[in-house]
Amino acid sequence: MLNLNLFSTEELLALSAQDLEKNELATGLEKLKFLLDQGVVSDELDSMLGSVYAKLQLFTEAAERYSALLDRDPSRLHERFQLGMVYRELGETSKALENWDQVLSTDSNYPPVLFHKALVLLAENETKDAEDLLMQLTSTAEADNYYAERAVELINELGAIEPNPEGAELDSVH
């Protein structure tokens, strides 16, 4: 076991990030909790703790860390998206949608939010609104974007896209 007192906050955050990249959650969490116990207040610390807790399915703790960060810096879109994901896992759909709508008010084409909000709307039988979000996603994101690719698959499953007659002709030629 390391003597964590020998390291600076920045060093421990960097080492924790490396631990998390290697999926060594316990080792990374140990360093992060040490910093928390030392009274360190840091956006990076709260972001990493939120992520670790979410991976460990400790969603209440994840929500607390993301919320603490967002109280200090409400402009962090990725963490606001993640907080919405945590609320969805907790079954608090309205809070998830509220956080995602805040992201969309800043970046109306944020791919992860468009996709996951569409999934929630589909679960609530709001198919038309979900399809609109998926279409927006496919028309605004890069074609090789993970969420755009999943959106195309989902749109095809829903039958929301009519086959392109020109495309059909090209397919029959080749």
Q: Tens of pLDDT along 106-118?
A: 999 999 999 999 9
**3-state SS string for the chain:** CCCHHHCCHHHHHHHHHHHHHCCCHHHHHHHHHHHHHCCCCCHHHHHHHHHHHHHCCCHHHHHHHHHHHHHHCCCCHHHHHHHHHHHHHCCCHHHHHHHHHHHHHHCCCCHHHHHHHHHHHHHCCCHHHHHHHHHHHHHHCCCCCHHHHHHHHHHHHHCCCCCCHHHHHHHHHC
Which residue ranges make up each domain of the chain? 8-78
Single pTM value for the model? 0.85
Give the fold, CATH level 3, of 8-78: 1.25.40
Over residues 65-77, the pLDDT tens digits come to 999 999 999 999 9
Smallest CA-to-CA distance from 32 within 4, 67, 60 is with 4
Mean pLDDT, range 143-158, rounded to an integer = 95
